[in-house]
Structure 1
């Protein structure tokens, strides 16, 4: 047995390296486990709620106001009539789909002044969580300990299907089961998905995207990053396909909105669906990300963004077609840059190595541990070495080859061609064609062949020059021999001859195949190129990548088991995997670099200053916003002559948390999460408490834009606005009726509370 002295020395060593028990602000916690893991700590930090107030299956709770918006963002219910709040960038695709040169909602904004004007969005969903359940025992039942990873996964998938089927039989619910801690645990989410989601309102991009790419991932921030939708249901309040007869959904809970704002040190809670984190990676993985993968992906996207930017500035039509695409490409590009900076600044690789050294020392101290973990880290190193050349090839396949829309789109036609070559029945071929025809109009609506041709020449040229010729697809030999490696000439040839550069051409090819004529499809140069690239990737890159990652998954499953035994005083949280999580922290400033300290909030003053600077076109603002500023016409949303815009807090968030509500100690909405600071983007891999901050739009700025700027005050009247008293008991704004759950005070108590609230507001203003 390891001695108590060695344990103490180990703990002290870890503390000095910053690798012990997670700071309370770190973590994305499972709602059903809050009572046993987090409730006490959250209440010590100022929370006045209980774990049951946040997550309960026996009564309405905060979870009933949270939705997975489209499967890629988070949204929250903010009225009893189905009104949903999320980010502008989360609704951007829908806003774009409804936009045209004549009705440019991206530029001008959109506001439905009545229910009839709300715009339907086919395919958009809002998913609520009904309950969670630990199903680890059922999923792992009957699985041998030493079974091969692929066979284990197949057995798990069968068990999952059985559990899902049994859990939802006879209901309209769905079930999602996900692995946690690399497959050591499994949890099931019973879900309810609504399919009639309508656009209600969105500010102009000059507000919703204020700062654009210049300010993306940055603080200070002044972006009104919000949009509003409404969830509709059938007459029975259950999910239904779109129908003009549907009615606004009545949620089990909607978030009351605090008008009291925030101050430094306030408790904050973020509730949402974070996408993907990898907090337990070894130093080998971090080194690969920092030295190989991120630099390659940044370089490729930088080139693509330059091409798109130039063409979008030259044409309004192209700008509208590529607005959402550009934003998506730029978002990850800038994130990877900040992530690499953060990893370097936090000395993450060395800290990971130090933890691994401590792990090896712990293993060496016990014979049983040696047998189970003795060769573990050496196996990690061996497997990551097998990825030399594979990771970079995969990155160029994903980012360069599939960064060309024509190649990515042609991949569907490759599948069709494969069916033909395999002499599949005409019925199967026609089914594939029918599926493809459904997506044609949508693809070509937002496709510009001349722009894509420029991307093709640049990105494939990079693929050709940056990757070892031994890892080139067969088609590159033709480019070398016929075009002397000139991808501009190659692009001229492909785009002049391929039928897939236009909607009419694509439809013609499919019609011919329906009648048994496939020669045009077979000879299409875009299809031939996509086939060559995909064939090489599937034969030479993907098998090794898959095999190594299967090995790594098993190693990580074992490694994290060991870490949890070694660090028994540490509360471990599972990596994000797009399931419902709670993060909590506090409103907190930070110091980005030596000699610089950032405040925790921004105001409209900062917007006006940026707009006046002329430093970037991303800082243009609407005349109406300038007018309201000049008049200081902020309504009830201003504070001492200022209008709050955004704030930061130390909540642990990631992609998917976009649109998540930021909730105060009383369970009231104070903001909507939309970003992280650049220095803190490395929190997907390692948390740095001194640098990691989530950025949120202040709900008072949201209300100001809706009410004063857009003149859509009817939406505000739907909401439950509250003003906190000093005791923490919420009072409803005088314009709103109190919900049944709110605490009612006597007239004398209300008068006293208002007096105390004014005093508190004055003190807070003086402190700021």
Structure 2
């Protein structure tokens, strides 16, 4: 009955929601979306997207490393994803002598392709609804912990009995806040090699200034290849492995895009919260986002100053800076977007309607008020949590100290005789982290972030131990950092190694003497007792009421179509190629060209420099078969509903051909994770023709293009290309 109820709720009200909103499960497209998609222009069937009996689009889509999406674009396992998704791998292979970040990398043959330890590509084999089995025996008034314990037991049994091959894995995820569960059978390939990447002046053109901004001119792509054992099955890295023979790979359309073209984005979106109550949205954009932005803004300014002066530091901190800046700018856009679209008031208007509908259902009366009140209570602790997590994330020495204290804590739980094993695991991770660590940079970051932390978090939630250290250093970040970074054993891997390569009891005693670990212990104890504990005490009831509120919305609001929030599982979203008008007197077109790259060109600038060869190709208009009407297309936008994790997702045309590579959203629409608005929410994609142009004409790697299947689905129709304002 629960399954039937949920499906009915999903089916209801197709006409009352924006046609482009939603992240849909591919196995349900036939029932829920196919008719609408065809009405919008789709030429294939839902069975061509998800099929268990033959190769389909799903078989060309992978979870890249568990943090991005990639797609297979040749019969030899060639994989396309974003440059920023492959950035860490590119950085790992880079050095001052071989700076692949600055100069790019192109393997001339398969023997030159570079292996990447730990990098994986995961395919989805099938998706099954296991709601009935997952929720068996959890009815009644169970506590949240007892309910979850019963569900976990059920899930373990489901996974143990799941029909799969020995080389496949089983994953179960909750949907609709735990009202529904799906089983995913997966295949993970562990030999993924770097094939090609443009220089950052192309792959990261515009860098942080243009991040989340339209018009965009970034060639954000990199190319890898999946290798398998000789049986075509997943295998650990071996020089004897062979390129994967995929069940399906994506043909590539050279016909380009037109305004109002139907588009699809297929990938693994990370996390959205579309069904939160108003107080939760208010907490996000008025409490948590400002705290996180303030901490990262200060850290980024310090790191940027060092990176601009020192080439080695630039390489060391490139990936960390990009990761930090990405979320920082996203949160700024989220705050602005919710305000601009009056998102909180829209939530309040919906809640007013919900309350009216709930009057006729006694089990739902008071539910929303109780949930909103809990978010109000949790708010101060949530903001303090973010200050603490940002301090440890962005101050690396405190992060190292936290890892050390955790290792000591684990040893106490498991016994001192386990210290040697735990220590070696700790040192192995620490050594990798110190490779890209600079003591001078981190000291300056710590100085500014400590000031912000002790100003932003009330002393009652910091605790006496941490505040005592702060008082001993005159309540001044610079003074505190000076002491930490001149006296701590954590200033280098060598000193840390010497510090921990001693008996467990001695190390446990001396962490109270080291200034970095002493401060961390004080802050951690205060955080645990006065922030995390009260936060966690409220969370089970919030989870329970949020689950009931989700069910109540689907039960009561019959004219609204509900899709599950993103949770890093395979989803398809669809929309159309369109521009947008974000504010008064500003209207954006839907596509950009190489002309715009040259307009932004600043010689020697780390964000807007342009390689000489690309300037020459532009000057001579040598675009090969990839240009259109004397222009070289670069990026375009559409109304597909995307989020983090969709980076690297393929943009597909009405026939299922690859037309672009998703890599970003417009700044005004970054609030789509909590407040989707079709008027301004747009995803940004690299035009696949620009990718091919860079590979072929710029990099001279036409052998890669020759691997691909190029098609002309529009049968010679001339693409219409406009330039963004």
Q: Which TM class, normalised by the smaller chain length? A: over 0.9
- Could you tell me which of 198, 205, 227 is aligned with 2:200? 205
Judge which range, 697-706 or 396-405, deviates more.
396-405
For residues 525-563 of structure 1, the C-alpha deviation after alignment (integer angstroms, 9 at most, x for no partner) is: 222222222222222211222232221221121112121
In structure 1, C-alpha distance between the alignment counterparts of 2:280 and 2:165, rounded to whole Å: 45
1:390 corresponds to: 381
Matches within 5 A, 1:590-629: 590-611=580-601, 617-629=606-618
Out of 87-96 and 424-433, give the one that drifted further.
Answer: 424-433
Q: Residues 354 and 112 of structure 1: is their aligned pair in 2 closer, same or farther, counting only changes over 3 Å?
A: same
Corresponding residue for residue 409 of structure 1: 400
The residue aligned with 1:541 is 531
Aligned partners of 1:481 and 1:456: how far apart in 2?
16
Partner SS state of residue 200, structure 1: strand
Selected match of 2:243 from 232, 248, 260: 248
3-state SS of 2:276 partner: coil
SS at match of 1:459: helix
After the TM superposition, which of the residue ranges 520-529 and 381-390 deviates more from structure 2? Answer: 520-529
Matched residue SS, 1:260 = coil
- Tell me the C-alpha RMSD between the 2 structures: 1.9
Counterparts of residues 186-585 of structure 1 (less than 5 Å): 186-364=181-359, 366=360, 369=361, 371-419=362-410, 422=412, 424-513=414-503, 518-585=508-575
1:74 aligned to 2:69?
yes
Is 1:711 matched up with 2:668? no
Whether the 8 Å contact between 2:55 and 2:247 is mirrored in structure 1 is yes
Q: Distance in 2 between matches of 1:416 and 1:618?
A: 40
- The residue aligned with 2:3 is none
Counterparts of residues 669-688 of structure 1 (less than 5 Å): 669-688=658-677
**Displacement of 1:402 after TM fit?**
3.3
Q: 1:522 Cα deviation (Å)?
A: 4.7
Aligned partner of residue 126 in structure 2, secondary structure: strand
Larger Cα-atom Rg = 1
Q: Is contact 2:465–2:526 with CA below 8 Å preserved after alignment?
A: no
C-alpha contact (below 8 Å) 1:401/1:459 kept by paired residues:
no
Q: Is the 8 A contact 1:651 1:693 kept in 2?
A: yes
Match of 1:646 among 635, 638, 652: 635
- For residues 336-391 of structure 1, the C-alpha deviation after alignment (integer angstroms, 9 at most, x for no partner) is 11111110111111111111111111122x2xx1x211111220132122124212
Stretch of structure 1 that moved more, 587-596 or 602-611? 587-596
Distance 2:254 2:694 in 1: 14
CA spacing shift, 1:513–1:449, aligned 2, 3 Å: farther
Deviates more, 1:288-297 or 1:432-441: 432-441
**TM-superposition CA deviations, 1:207-246 (whole Å, max 9, x none):** 0000111100000000000000000000000011111010
Pairwise CA distance, 1:460:
1.2
Correspondence for 1:36 among 15, 31, 42? 31
Name the residue aligned to 1:113: 108
Query: Which residue of structure 2 lines up, in the alignment, with residue 701 of structure 1?
Result: 690
Q: Tell me the alpha carbon deviations over residues 34-85 of structure 1, each in whole angstroms, 9 at most, x when there is no partner.
A: 0000000000000011111000111110000000000000000000001000
Preserved CA contact (<8 Å) 2:206 2:217 = yes
Q: 1:24 aligns with which of 19, 24, 27?
A: 19
Deviations 1:119-154 (A, max 9, x none): 110000000000000000111011133211122112
Query: How many angstroms apart in 2 are the aligned matches of 1:619 and 1:575?
Result: 36
Query: 2:718 maps to which residue?
Result: 761
Secondary structure of 1:343's counterpart equals: helix
**2:7 aligned residue:** none
Gaps of 5+ in 1: 1-14, 727-756
Equivalent-residue separation in structure 2 for 1:503 and 1:681 (angstroms) = 39
| CA–CA separation in structure 2 for the residues paired with 1:455 and 1:308 | 7
Q: Is the 8 A contact 2:590 2:723 kept in 1?
A: no
Name the SS for the 1:662 alignment partner.
Answer: strand
Give the TM-score normalised by the residue count of structure 2. 0.95
> C-alpha deviations, 1:177-232, integer Å up to 9, x for none?
11111100001111000000000000000000001111000000000000000000
Separation in 2, partners of 1:381, 1:286: 10
Deviation, 1:400, is 2.2
1:724 CA displacement: 1.7
Distance 1:634 1:385, change over 3 A: same
Give the CA deviation at 1:640.
1.4
Q: Distance in 2 between matches of 1:676 and 1:490?
A: 39
**Contact 2:576–2:638 (Cα < 8 Å) also in 1:** yes
Structure 1 counterpart SS, 2:484:
helix
| Structure 1 contact 473–536 (Cα < 8 Å) conserved | yes
CA–CA distance in 2 between the matches of 1:651 and 1:616?
33
Query: What are structure 2's unaligned runs of at least 5 residues?
Result: 1-12
Q: Which string of whole-angstrom CA distances, capped at 9 and with x for unpartnered residues, describes residues 15-50 of structure 1?
A: 9xxx98321100000001000000000000000111
Aligned 1:653-664 pairs, distance under 5 A: 653-664=642-653
Distance in 1 of aligned mates of 2:722 and 2:413: 79
Per-residue CA shift, 1:93-135, capped at 9, x if unaligned? 1111111111111100011111111111000000000000000
